[in-house]
Structure 1
């Protein structure tokens, strides 16, 4: 009798683990192999600066995970395995050079009043968006959680048409194609409000003028106000640890520090994997690869389908990110003290600045004024630092994976080894301008360059934290290629998952969950 597992999963990121847990809960024998020393991929937590200070390596916001289909179905069991959330009603804010700020909280009246302080007309627009959000969210979340296949799209299209009518459906389609700037310019008059919302596009790879990017500023604004934000209690790795325990409780296994060097085939069907130590492990039902499209080709030696191979070879990645982890004696003294209550503070003062930063990074230049996402997790979860101390989680967006030059003309280094410190200093100088004295509060610092992110996790090519551009040409039914958004590949029994596959990046575990449900039949 064979001892081969039903499914082998390559990679132990959160999509892999969600897929593994769902399959195992439906009776599948699942084995996961991870090249890194620990599971989690970009979702992990560690004491990267000083003992007692817990920093989220890359992903911090678990709102998508908390609201995911996977958590909805398995949340009770995950909680039994230690999953714990730390919610906040003050998810994000933006600060501006003129000393003003705008914060989005889940108190509708308070947030609307903040908007009104910038523009009465914008307060009316905000109220309309707030009123319409429940009905709009039903359609949008239905789309984002839908398998990208003909049957699901036909059903979703028909239901949307029946609910919204022809005009409303076409308006939705138009909105989904809009750039952040186009939608924001048509909706608001205040440049401060536009910049506050446009900053969310930069979390993916939607600079203000990129078509298809309006959806993300809209959803983050409305969902942030409606639901707040959710962090992981003690660190984002609470989700990973709980899924590992759940998988093991159902008889599954995870082997870390074990690179996969090949996906074996016979008769057009995936039969198993070869490990770096020479072992072959067979799979009875499925080999599931949570890898980049380029890595999928490398592992298989080719999929045998010219169109699919061309799509994998041509898959485009977003610009990179640099992380700065700071152990702090105290929170930054923002010029607006109210900012100390928010989980995120964006330093992205205008849409023009964001567009310039994106263009510079795409051109291989270190941006002269990078966008800064200042995460303040200990505002929400004090357990991440010793009593009275704090951690800051800084994302520096955007950053080129390969440096060709410096937009400011000051940093001569073209290797991340030498450019990391001066570029980090540039970001900290910007932060210091909004919160004077921040540097004096730093107890420990750890810089993570785009190259370090990729070295740690090969799926983050060039420091691309979302494993591939979400621009329209490789999103929806085109992620990662037309006809393969459901995780199938031209090789039978070989499946593709992870952020490179629909519905893409983020901590919602959508790709892994959709594939698991497809394979398990429920």
Structure 2
């Protein structure tokens, strides 16, 4: 018998397990795959010696998430900050670039630099309040109301059809839309804009860090801490029902709502089951990984220093591409999100070679291989790109769904990110991590604050489990504790 059973060893399941083990409870973590990590695994997908992040690759929240700050992740993992946080190549031949320095970013944006500053400076000044507001359930009073108000006003400014009112040129709005398009959904929209503004703010705060050795380094740090505090990890062990992990006093589930309904069986109350089965998922991603014989030959050479590149052209072009996906179509000129980990991490590939990570958005459950469309899109802004491609591998949306059960239909956000999806995740509640089943908590990205490697859904679920069942507070999580 153990105190706590955690099902699913993604970042949130690991975070939940770490918190419970640090509280002195006996913890057993179950993972169906042969390794921990979930959305933060790293693998030799194409050839030995080339390390690819299977899902998440760049981690703005690794130094901003309240959980990771308490966990002191930066003292456990080598997190590298690229010189250019992210960039968007434009058809005029140059790129819009975001540096960690807001001043430098504003200076290089030219005419629209001051407008960009007026949008971002108020958020950056209260970045801790913005992170706290966006890292919790929205149905609550924020600790920093002014930060929440500033964030809300900026979201209204950029998440509605008036989003061009402050800009006169292409660079600044394209820079912002490249980030906003990380979220699956139409453009402009309040939900995508909120996510994009948070990430844009973090680019000028702690930076968009890349972990040396891949995203698995983050999962491994949590797994090591769990076992150091007495927890056990069981990989390759699929849990088919809650009875399989009983008589644990608390059960925390890093699973999608349909899986929770299946695991709970007849224990799930009818009303709650209907909510779980009606939970909405969004569109998906088609991922394309490359082995390169050299760096990407970007037309604007400054992009060679960027950890992340948003390939999509102007704000209008990116919006048109994303809106086609929202209509169930495959764009011929997709928005492509590119990660260049080799820029700061030489361990990813043999000397002289590079890895390139990319994806584009596609309709849910798509089986279409978008490799050619992705390659052509990059080639447009990096003439000669095809000449440096040694090999590539495509993971379709359907294959992404098979890889991770939480990515239903290939939706790596684990749930539709519209306004309803932000509040009803998976139900409307002040404590959505707590289920109606005694001792059972949901801690996946299908709960607030949603997707991303933040550990926060797991942290929140563990916090309430400690309070409800064990009458304990969250313990210290730092390296020296």
TM-score by structure 1 length?
A: 0.84
1:180–1:217 CA contact under 8 A, matched in 2:
no
- Please say which structure displays the higher CA radius of gyration: 1
Structure 1 unaligned blocks of 5 or more: 264-272, 275-280, 404-415
2:349–2:355 CA contact under 8 A, matched in 1:
yes
Q: Please list the CA deviations of residues 146-179 of structure 1 after superposition, one character each: whole Å capped at 9, or x if unmatched.
A: 3556xxx24x27x52xx58xxx94x754555566
What's the offset of the Cα at 1:181? 4.7
- Structure 1 window deviating more from structure 2 (14-23 vs 197-206): it is 197-206
The residue number in structure 1 matching 2:276 is 312
Counterparts of 1:202 and 1:59 in 2: how far apart (Å)? Answer: 15
Counterparts of 1:105 and 1:58 in 2: how far apart (Å)? Answer: 24
Out of 416, 428, 434, the position equivalent to 1:482 is 428
The residue number in structure 2 matching 1:243 is 222
Question: For the structure 1 residues 463 and 304, does the alpha-carbon distance in structure 2 shift closer, same or farther, using more than 3 Å as the test?
Answer: closer
Counterparts of 1:303 and 1:372 in 2: how far apart (Å)? Answer: 43
The residue number in structure 1 matching 2:292 is 328
Counterparts of 1:471 and 1:147 in 2: how far apart (Å)? Answer: 15
The residue number in structure 1 matching 2:116 is 126
Question: For the structure 1 residues 194 and 283, does the alpha-carbon distance in structure 2 shift closer, same or farther, using more than 3 Å as the test?
Answer: farther
List, as ranges, runs of 4+ consecutive aligned residues in structure 1 with deviation greater than 3 Å.
146-149, 171-179, 181-184, 302-307
1:303–1:490 CA contact under 8 A, matched in 2:
no
Q: Which aligned pairs between 1:155-170 and structure 2 lie closer than 5 A? A: 156=142, 160=145, 169=149
Counterparts of 1:48 and 1:426 in 2: how far apart (Å)? Answer: 21
The residue number in structure 1 matching 2:315 is 351
Q: CA RMSD in A?
A: 2.2
Q: Which aligned pairs between 1:239-388 and structure 2 lie closer than 5 A? A: 239-263=218-242, 273-274=243-244, 281-301=245-265, 304-388=268-352
Out of 164, 186, 194, the position equivalent to 1:215 is 194
Q: Please list the CA deviations of residues 306-339 of structure 1 after superposition, one character each: whole Å capped at 9, or x if unmatched.
A: 4432321221112111111111110111111111
Q: Please list the CA deviations of residues 447-470 of structure 1 after superposition, one character each: whole Å capped at 9, or x if unmatched.
A: 111111111111111111111112
2:383 corresponds to 1:402: no
Structure 2 unaligned blocks of 5 or more: 467-472, 475-481
Question: For the structure 1 residues 485 and 479, does the alpha-carbon distance in structure 2 shift closer, same or farther, using more than 3 Å as the test?
Answer: farther
TM-score by structure 2 length?
A: 0.91
Counterparts of 2:116 and 2:269 in 1: how far apart (Å)? Answer: 48
Question: For the structure 1 residues 338 and 179, does the alpha-carbon distance in structure 2 shift closer, same or farther, using more than 3 Å as the test?
Answer: closer
1:87–1:228 CA contact under 8 A, matched in 2:
yes
Out of 125, 133, 139, the position equivalent to 1:143 is 133
2:4 corresponds to 1:11: no
2:108 corresponds to 1:114: yes
2:58–2:339 CA contact under 8 A, matched in 1:
no
What's the offset of the Cα at 1:65? 2.2
Q: Please list the CA deviations of residues 378-413 of structure 1 after superposition, one character each: whole Å capped at 9, or x if unmatched.
A: 0011121111211101112x112334xxxxxxxxxx
Counterparts of 2:277 and 2:94 in 1: how far apart (Å)? Answer: 46
Out of 101, 104, 108, the position equivalent to 2:98 is 104
2:441–2:465 CA contact under 8 A, matched in 1:
no
Counterparts of 1:68 and 1:139 in 2: how far apart (Å)? Answer: 12
Question: For the structure 1 residues 175 and 62, does the alpha-carbon distance in structure 2 shift closer, same or farther, using more than 3 Å as the test?
Answer: closer
Q: Please list the CA deviations of residues 183-241 of structure 1 after superposition, one character each: whole Å capped at 9, or x if unmatched.
A: 63233232332122112222112432223332223222232123321111111100111
Q: Please list the CA deviations of residues 115-147 of structure 1 after superposition, one character each: whole Å capped at 9, or x if unmatched.
A: 11xx2xx22222333442344424322212335
Q: Which aligned pairs between 1:436-451 and structure 2 lie closer than 5 A? A: 436-451=383-398
Partner-residue secondary structure (3-state), 1:366: coil
Counterparts of 2:402 and 2:70 in 1: how far apart (Å)? Answer: 34
What's the offset of the Cα at 1:44? 0.8
Question: For the structure 1 residues 363 and 129, does the alpha-carbon distance in structure 2 shift closer, same or farther, using more than 3 Å as the test?
Answer: closer
Out of 89, 111, 117, the position equivalent to 1:95 is 89
Count residues with an aligned counterpart: 468
Counterparts of 2:152 and 2:104 in 1: how far apart (Å)? Answer: 32
